[in-house]
Amino acid sequence: MLTSKQSDRALPTFISLLVIGVLLMTFDVRLEGGGVVGVLRSGTQAIVSPMQRIAAFAVTPIANALDSLSNVASLREQNAALSAQLAESQASLVAVQDDLAKLDLLEQIYDLETDGAELGQTVANVIGSVDAALIIDKGIANGVLVGQPVIDTNGYVIGTVKSASSGSATVLPITASRDGLTVLVGSQTGTLVTRPFSSDLGLEMDLDVFDAREPVLAGDRVLTSAASTDYPAGLPVGEVIEDASPESTSLTTSVRPFVDPEALRFVVVLAWPPDPVSAATDDTIPETTDTTIAEDATTTTTTPEDDG
């Protein structure tokens, strides 16, 4: 136990040590040139700085990831905008290609000649198909009539008009017709007939020449004949794909038509014959004026030149 003497000495000693400690702290602060607040601030920074570095190490990757996500979203928006612009450009390109195709078609039609006759033409769009037949957007109101021949933009034979309404018509391609087509190969006349479609054979037709005088060779062009009642003469139909020589007085070979009906977008309907009504009734007799002179009992025919 502490005696009263020891207790009396401990209190002054404690007070003395406390005063010395305060003096030492004051002296140390003055030597550093800062106040107590500065010392506290320095101590706080010494404690907080490592914590800030740890927080920055943990937070910086998260912030970078959020920035990356923001950039990805912005890139997606830009990609969507570019995709929309690309779609519009592609649509514009298709429209320009259609216009160029129509221009090329009209240029070809302008130079089209068949047996020296100026044929009327009706340009039509292919708007659909039924079985093997093509539906076009021109009809009787546009001068399209049943039986008229149909060609493509290159002048190659497609088929004939099989039915027509006021604003549309149906075209039956030669590859789907059961009627034979009279054609010319070189100097020989033959008949082109339909061959059933097969994925192995492709789009082909059979050519029969019944009065064959010479062979036909692969690559020979097949044209419409003047003996045909459905087409003007000289229209290209296709080409021979197999050599063939006469057997007795006939030969048979394969022909590939120039036109694939499934790939058509435009067709041309020919007004052929040019004027069937006038052609059938071309019996016009020039007008004459008869004058009878009684004295000579003769008849004189006057013409506009003599009529003064």
Instruction: Find residue 190's DSSP bridge partners.
Output: 183
Residue 241 and residue 171 share a domain: yes
Average pLDDT, the chain: 75
| Band of pLDDT at residue 281, cut at 50, 70 and 90 | very low
CA 288 to chain centre: 62
6 domain residue, yes or no: no
Residue 124 and residue 81 share a domain: no
The CA distances from residue 64 to 54, 70, 74, 77, in Å, are: 16, 10, 15, 20
Q: What is the pLDDT of residues 35-57, one digit of tens each?
A: 555 555 555 555 556 656 665 66
Q: Are 129 and 103 in contact (CB under 8 A)?
A: no
Q: Measured over all CA atoms, what is the biggest interatomic distance in the chain, rounded to whole angstroms?
A: 196
155 domain residue, yes or no: yes
Residue 154 and residue 47 share a domain: no
- For the chain, how many structural domains are there in total? 2
- Residues 125-143 have a mean pLDDT of 93
Predicted pLDDT of residue 16 = 75
7 domain residue, yes or no: no
Instruction: Find residue 161's DSSP bridge partners.
Output: 171
Residue 265 and residue 165 share a domain: yes
Residue 255 and residue 125 share a domain: yes
% of the chain surpassing 70 pLDDT: 60
- Tokens 């038509």 correspond to what residue? 257
157 domain residue, yes or no: yes
181 domain residue, yes or no: yes
Q: How far apart are CA 87 and CA 305, in angstroms?
A: 71
Predicted pLDDT of residue 113 = 46
Does residue 255 register a pLDDT over 50? yes
Residue 134 and residue 77 share a domain: no
Residue 272 and residue 157 share a domain: yes
Residue 233 and residue 148 share a domain: yes
Does residue 142 register a pLDDT over 50? yes
Question: What's the N-to-C CA distance of the chain in angstroms?
Answer: 174
CATH of the domain at 124: 2.40.10.340
Collapsed DSSP state (helix, strand, coil) of residue 175: coil
164 domain residue, yes or no: yes
Long-range contacts of 46-51 (CB under 8 A, 24+ apart): none
Residue 125 and residue 63 share a domain: no
Residue 43 and residue 146 share a domain: no
Q: What is the pLDDT of residues 195-207, one digit of tens each?
A: 765 554 458 999 9
| Band of pLDDT at residue 59, cut at 50, 70 and 90 | low
Predicted pLDDT of residue 17 = 72
Predicted pLDDT of residue 289 = 37
72 domain residue, yes or no: yes
Residue 259 and residue 155 share a domain: yes
Range name among 4-13, 127-136, 181-190, 191-200 with the lowest pLDDT average: 4-13
Q: Which domain holds residue 263?
A: 120-276
Range name among 122-126, 260-264, 273-277, 303-307 with the lowest pLDDT average: 303-307
Residue 194 and residue 74 share a domain: no
Range name among 14-23, 108-117, 140-149, 183-192 with the lowest pLDDT average: 108-117
108 domain residue, yes or no: no
Supply the pTM of this predicted model: 0.53
Long-range contacts of 189-192 (CB under 8 A, 24+ apart): 189/225, 189/227, 192/222, 192/237, 192/238, 192/255
